[in-house]
Amino acid sequence: MKTFCVIGMNRFGQTLALTLAKNNKQVMIIDENAEIVGAMADFVTDAVVGDPKNEEVLVSAGAADYDCTIVCYSGEIDDSILITLLLKDIGASYVVARAQSDLHMRILTKVGADRVVYPEKDMGERLANTLTRNNVTEYIELSEDCSIVEIKVPAKWAGRSLAELDVRRKYQVTIIAIGSKEGKVDVSPDPHTQLDKDMTVTIIGLKKNIEKIS
């Protein structure tokens, strides 16, 4: 996806729009607050002041012409549902909507959102999974059974190479990256790379197998 329309300039929406713009993506923002839109205008491709709950605003802004439209609106729950519905009605190809509760998430899905995100819940679960696992510094859930986890190199792995450890055979997981203590990340590690206690390793695999390590 190369073009994005971000609707709702709350903190989440602003951060999302700015990050996309920094990654050289074409970004249009829409919000009712002229002051916020004005402050963001220099950082994005297009900035529109208008009520996104008004279908005419969405149509005139060309929201449906973007590869992805993200509804970050943080007003009443009904508002984001309406905006999502309007976007699908005018032909938006891929709509991502931000939910504020499990019920909100289900409704957004039913009215046509192609993807629903629940940042507060996702971040809470991610933090909990990180804090409750020894040595885990980062945790990403891919599915109910599979995850990607960054862990500090276990003491018994220090001084040994990836080839020696042979974690794919022993644990049925794959090391996809190695992080140095300087913060550099090698996403294609050499099997003969020797690990030390100050490094991190990023592992992908079934949760039950990762648990044996972390």
Q: What is the 3-state secondary structure (H, E, C) of 103-114?
A: HHHHHHHHCCCC
Instruction: Show the tokens assigned to 148.
Output: 């990607």
| Rounded distance between C-alpha atoms, residue 89 and residue 107, angstroms | 16
Query: Confidence class of residue 145 from pLDDT cuts 50, 70 and 90?
Result: confident
- Quote the tokens at residue 33: 């607050």
Close Cβ partners of 94 (under 8 Å, ≥ 6 residues apart): 1, 67, 68, 69, 114, 115
| pLDDT value of residue 135 | 60
pLDDT tens figures, 27-80: 999 999 999 999 999 999 999 999 999 999 999 999 999 999 999 987 778 999
Task: Please give the pLDDT value at position 125.
Answer: 59
Q: What is the pLDDT of residues 148-200, one digit of tens each?
A: 888 888 888 999 999 999 988 888 999 888 988 787 888 888 888 889 888 88
pLDDT at 130: 57
- pTM listed for this prediction: 0.65
pLDDT tens digits, 82-110? 999 999 999 999 999 999 888 998 999 99
Mean pLDDT of the chain: 87
Q: What is the pLDDT of residue 64?
A: 96
How would you list the strands of the sheet with 95-98, edge to edge? 46-49, 26-31, 3-7, 68-71, 95-98, 115-117
Q: Is it the case that residue 136 has pLDDT exceeding 80?
A: no
What integer pLDDT is reported at residue 71 of this predicted model? 96
Amino acid code (one letter) for 29: I
